[in-house]
Structure 1
Amino acid sequence: MTRHPLEVLRTERLRLRLVEPGDAAVFLELFNDPAFIEHIGDRGVRTLEAAAKSIEDGPVAMQRTRGHSMYMVELLAQGAAVPVGLSGLIKRDALEDVDLGYAFLPRHRGQGYAFEAARAVVAHARTLGIPRLVAITTPGNAASIALLLRLGMCFQGTRVVVAGEPELNLYGMDLP
């Protein structure tokens, strides 16, 4: 399979590439998934136009200003790239360190893609010289908690990330 011009990372099964406005349908589906809303939050994205704006204001802007962002994760299979979710690096105002983020479409969960992509993103953070990485999750998100622990992150406590919202579990790791 040829290299995509926006490719950032590649694993055995996955390509992680920069998000582009043409990914609006994937964003719309992902942001309206009940598990995404429960564990990550309701972004209020209900139309393709709102999804495209979310892409421009989020990953595209962060990539431009920080040199990293959330990446589109694609399954490389049988000569085609199938979008399966997002994984990448986010700098949130409420957190001192860069945050590892990920979210996958329901039909692509439970197949190891989140761990494979997250592991590649952690390695990428090292190459970018990021000294410490954190991740947040709802206390009831057992799958994310297990993934973060498997990556080598340690529980750091709880934190309110958005005023008025419930506390989230905070995990962290130093990147040697």
Structure 2
Amino acid sequence: MPTPSSPILTTTSRLYISLLDPTNPRHSTFLFHCWTTPDFTTSCGPSAFKTPADATQFLTTRVQTLYNTSNYTRGIFLLSLRPHPAATLQESVPIGTMSLMQGTPPDGYLCPDLGFVVLPEQSGRGYATEAGRALVAYACEELGVAGVFGFCEMGNARSRRVLEKIGLEFRGEKELRVFGGKRSAVYALSGMERDLRIYGVDD
């Protein structure tokens, strides 16, 4: 399991997926930049961050709380590029974030959903797919979860392609109760019918 002293969740040949550190100004500055790009605001809506200090506050309260309550196995994580195969985490270059978020039934859901944001200048290189596959494998093999969801707007063709390449199956477009009725494309690993019913997908 990752810890503050050993913050890496998992790796690929090109990437690190690791904990975000609220005491690291580099992380706050990067998160502010990443979550205020046009790609992010188009997909996720207006950013809550006005300054890097807002990102620091978010990391300190929201993200650290998620880590603490899940023993560092759920939350929002840093996606970094390894500049060479033997690069250390300190040498890596931040390029995005990935998340495993989970609610509490009946208002939430039994399995985590996967989220991802990659900087526009790093998109189109397969990083989200590579990291997503690694994080799904980590969730299923290391955390023992029964499945993983993915959600995005129907018109977000790029995110839908990534979810499909990761191995999630399209389950339809639904107005999801847990998101206040917001209409979304629903993706899930096979064998997740119980969780799909919680979301109202099979209503």
Q: Which residue of 2 aligns with 1:115?
A: 129
Query: 1:92–1:31: structure 2 CA closer, same or farther, 3 Å change rule?
Result: farther
Alignment partners' CA distance in 1, 2:184 and 2:58 = 23
Q: 1:44 aligns with which of 41, 45, 48?
A: 48
Aligned residues: 172
| Superposition TM-score, scaled by structure 2 size | 0.77
Alignment partners' CA distance in 2, 1:152 and 1:10 = 18
In terms of fraction of residues, the more strand-rich structure is 1
Alignment partners' CA distance in 2, 1:130 and 1:41 = 29
Q: Which residue of 2 aligns with 1:59?
A: 63
Alignment partners' CA distance in 1, 2:64 and 2:42 = 25
Query: 1:156–1:58: structure 2 CA closer, same or farther, 3 Å change rule?
Result: farther
Alignment partners' CA distance in 1, 2:189 and 2:61 = 28
| RMSD, aligned α-carbons | 2.1
Per-residue CA deviation, residues 138-159 of structure 1 (Å, 9 max, x unaligned), is: 1111111011111221122323
Partner secondary structure for residue 82 of structure 2: strand
Where does 1:7-156 land on structure 2 (aligned, <5 Å)? 7-21=8-22, 22=24, 23-66=27-70, 67-78=73-84, 79=87, 80-92=91-103, 95-96=108-109, 97-126=111-140, 127-156=142-171
Alignment partners' CA distance in 2, 1:86 and 1:116 = 13
Deviation at 1:83, TM superposition (A): 0.2
| Superposition TM-score, scaled by structure 1 size | 0.88
Pair 1:171-2:187 in alignment: yes
Deviation at 1:92, TM superposition (A): 4.0
Aligned-pair identity (%): 26
The letter of the residue matching 1:71 is F
User: Which one has the largest radius of gyration?
Assistant: 2
Query: 1:29–1:68: structure 2 CA closer, same or farther, 3 Å change rule?
Result: same
Alignment partners' CA distance in 1, 2:122 and 2:143 = 28
Partner secondary structure for residue 159 of structure 1: strand
Alignment partners' CA distance in 2, 1:136 and 1:24 = 26
